[in-house]
Amino acid sequence: MPVRHHTKDKGDLAAAQVQVDLIERGAMVLLPLTEHAPFDLVAYQDGSFFRIQVKYRATSRGVLPVHFRSVWSDRQGVHAKPTDRDDIDVLAIYSPETRRCYYLDPTRFESSVSLRLSPPKNGQVANILFADDFTTFPPRPAR
């Protein structure tokens, strides 16, 4: 059973795992000097820079749910802000269950996407997005 982490710790773990994954892929990883940037890190690879927002996502019934938003809470309550796709080039997802990183082109999706980690029990294959198809960096551009 995975160790439970505080939300900030989960984000730090995801950012560290993505950094390691990118470095192993030959990218140079650059970190912003502020926590208020719309991206968590920048990868430089093959002459291109990629602004990357990182998210930690646990699986639910064989699915990795990904929402294109940031959620935080303060004394006024819980807040959600949609991801501004002009501010990032890649959304990187770290899954603690698979211990893998997944890379998404945010222009390919609306407000959320569900990545399957295993085939559906009903055998459906149409309109299914398998997480294994999103392990390439940089992600494939929108079609």
Is 2 inside a domain boundary?
no
Is 50 inside a domain boundary?
yes
pLDDT at 6 over 80: no
Is 13 inside a domain boundary?
yes
* Domains: count for the chain: 1
Dihedral of CA atoms 85, 136, 32, 99 in degrees, nearest 10, equals 110
- Predicted TM-score (pTM) of the model is 0.87
User: Looking at residues 40-50, what average pLDDT do you find?
Assistant: 96
Dump strand ranges (E) for 21-97: 28-30, 41-45, 48-56, 63-67, 69-74, 77-82, 90-95
Domain CATH number, residue 112: 3.40.1350.10
Is 142 inside a domain boundary?
no
pLDDT digits (tens, 9 = 90+) for 64-91: 999 988 887 889 999 888 888 899 999 9
State percent of the chain over pLDDT 70. 94
User: Looking at residues 94-104, what average pLDDT do you find?
Assistant: 96
Instruction: Compute the residue count for the chain.
Output: 143
Q: Which amino acid would we find at residue 108?
A: R
Give the domain range for residue 31.
Answer: 7-134
Is 118 inside a domain boundary?
yes
133: confidence class by pLDDT, cuts 50, 70, 90: very high
